[in-house]
Every structure is written in structure tokens, then in C-alpha cells.
Structure 1
Amino acid sequence: MSTDSEYETADAALARAVRLREERTPRAHEELVGLAARHPHDAALAYQAAWSHDSLGLEAEAVPFYERALNGTGLAAQDRHGAFLGLGSTLRVLGRYEEAREVLGRGLDEFAQDAALRTFLAMTLYNLGESREAVRTLLLVAAATSEDPQVQAYRPAIEYYAGRLDETE
């Protein structure tokens, strides 16, 4: 069982490793992986280790860390969102499209209407051959998030036709 001082040490080490990662210092990855190994039940450390793997192009190695982060407890909402996005997009890049759809769907269960999750879901749907649903999803994201005055002027029509792409008069 860990003591409070061990957690404080882990927290301080995590803060240092994250700072190193933000400074793009190569040692950051080693520190984050080591911390995650020493604290296997710490969801925040697992998330940071996953992110580090992803940023180095080590997608397959990132997956178990993302899964550990999402299966753990105590992950801040912003990091939990990032873990869903990271895992979903990583699985998509690895060609594991059904798994990506499931993870992104779980993310949307918690973060309904999130534009980033929906955008990566649209890419995944495209990869699954569901082009109509992918386009519908992207149209809805564009209508909801665009600051372009022309898009906003036509927002009701875009939202209406997003689900009726094949309709004609």
C-alpha cells in the first residue's frame, strides 16, 4: 500500500516528466514509462505514458496504457476525454476500426456532442465503409462548430439535410 509521501513523490515526478515532454526532452518518455510501471494502478500516469508513446509514433505500445487509464479511477475529466480520443484515434490508425468505433462511442456516451470525438468517429465510419454516416456526422459537427457566417446562415438546412443526403424533390 502506498503512503501519502509516495503519492506526493509520484505527483512531483509526473509533473517533472510532463514538463520534460512539453519541452520535447527525450528523457520524458523513459520517465513516464518508468513511473507508470512503478504505479500500475495510477490512471493519470497511464494516460501520460500513453500520450508519450503516441507522440513518438509508438501507437501499438500506447494502447495498453490508454486502456489502463480508462479502466482506472480518478482520471480528471479532461484527461479521460483525452484518453478516449487518444485510444480511439490510435486504434483507427492501427486499422482496428471496430474497436475504434466502440471506444469513440463510449467517449461520446460521457462527452456527448464533443466535436473532436465525433470527427474521429466520422473518420472511423469512413474506414468501415459507412460513408453516408461519416458525411452526416461531419456535416453536423461543421454546423455546430463553424464560426463561418455563411455556414451559420445555413445551419438549419445543413442539419436538416445531413440525415437526408439522398433526398431530392
Structure 2
Amino acid sequence: MNSSIQQPSWDSQLKQAVQLRQESQLESSLQLLLKLANDFPDEGIVQYQCAWAHDAIGKEISAVPYYVRALSLALTEEDRRGAYLGLGSTYRAIGEYEKSKALLEEAINHFPDAREFKVFYALTLYNLGQHEESTSILLRQLVETTQNADITPYNRALLFYADHLNEVWTNEE
């Protein structure tokens, strides 16, 4: 009796498609992934990789249904994180700002320590005209992640200003 785990029938083709993308053979990767996505519509990783291939080639609108499908299926936490970011960023890139905002809020709730969602959320808020909240989020991310010696001495001030962006001090009492 063979106790080794059998790989899915699509696994080697998926690896090949990812390798093609990594080698900048984007159209070949996309074509292979389109076939896989059609043949295996219930495999989350296949749908996610197909979405990613569309994004990589600049076909953001075409990527959306693959991201949506992938997120409705089983994915590893790492792949779910990537699919959330891909779809949230894609919605923003195609001007679907409210969809981007809602999806990125969902992602932030699911992955509260994942900073990338907060940064892309701030970009979306900017596009929605919510400049103060956008800048505040970006300032917090900067302060919480940078080790730059030219910025860190100002961390306390930057965090204060993150909550007081529109205040003006006009008197010295």
C-alpha cells in the first residue's frame, strides 16, 4: 500500500503556470491558467492564480470574477490574504472604490495584523475623498514600521498629528 499523498491532477500544470509568470512569460501563464480555471472551477488556488495572471498582464477587470470565485472557495490563509489584497487593489484600480473599501475592511477584520491591507485601504480612502483618514492611516503605518533614523525622532509628533491633521494652533496661551 502506498502511503504517499497524491497531488491533484492539476498541480503540475499550476506549478508550470506560476513558473511561467515568474519568468515573465505572462501570456503563456495566463493561457494555461485560463484552461485550468475552466477545467477546475471549484479549486480556490487555481481561481486565485488565474486572477493574479490577469492582474499581472494588466487585465484587471477580467481578474475580478476569478478573485471573487477564489475567495468563495477553500484557500490557505496565505492565499486568502493574497486574494483579498489582489481583489481590493483591483477594485480600487478600476474605480470601484466602495467595493474596494468594503472588501479591504473585511480583510482587515480577518487579518488585523496585516499592514498591507491598511495601506491599500488608505489609498482607497484617498480616492473616496477621505483624505484626513487616509493620511492618518499612512502616518501610523509609517511610524509603526520605519527604522529610519531621520524619521524616528519625530514618531511622537507624527502620531499626534495623525489624529489632529486639520487643527491649527493660532494662539500661545
TM-score strictly above 0.5: yes
Q: When the two structures are superposed, what TM-score results if normalisation uses the length of structure 2? A: 0.88
1:167 equivalenced with 2:173 (yes/no): no
Percent of residue pairs bearing the same amino acid type: 37
Q: When the two structures are superposed, what TM-score results if normalisation uses the length of structure 1? A: 0.90
Contact 1:92 1:124 (C-alpha < 8 Å) held by counterparts: yes
Extract unaligned runs of 5+ from structure 1. none
The residue aligned with 1:72 is 73
- AA paired with 1:86? G
The residue correspondences of 1:37-56 to structure 2 (distance < 5 A) are 37-56=38-57
Larger helix fraction of residues: 1
The residue correspondences of 1:108-147 to structure 2 (distance < 5 A) are 108-147=108-147
What is the alpha-carbon distance in structure 1 between the residues aligned to residue 141 and residue 150 of structure 2?
Answer: 15
What is the alpha-carbon distance in structure 2 between the residues aligned to residue 168 and residue 28 of structure 1?
Answer: 54
- AA paired with 1:17? A
Q: Give the CA deviation at 1:150.
A: 3.0
Deviation digits for residues 130-161 of structure 1, max 9, x if unmatched? 01011101101111111212322222322232
**Runs of 4+ displaced beyond 4 Å:** none
The residue aligned with 1:28 is 29
What is the alpha-carbon distance in structure 2 between the residues aligned to residue 49 and residue 127 of structure 1?
Answer: 27
- AA paired with 2:28? R
What is the alpha-carbon distance in structure 2 between the residues aligned to residue 43 and residue 159 of structure 1?
Answer: 40
1:156 equivalenced with 2:151 (yes/no): no
Structure with the greater alpha carbon radius of gyration? 2
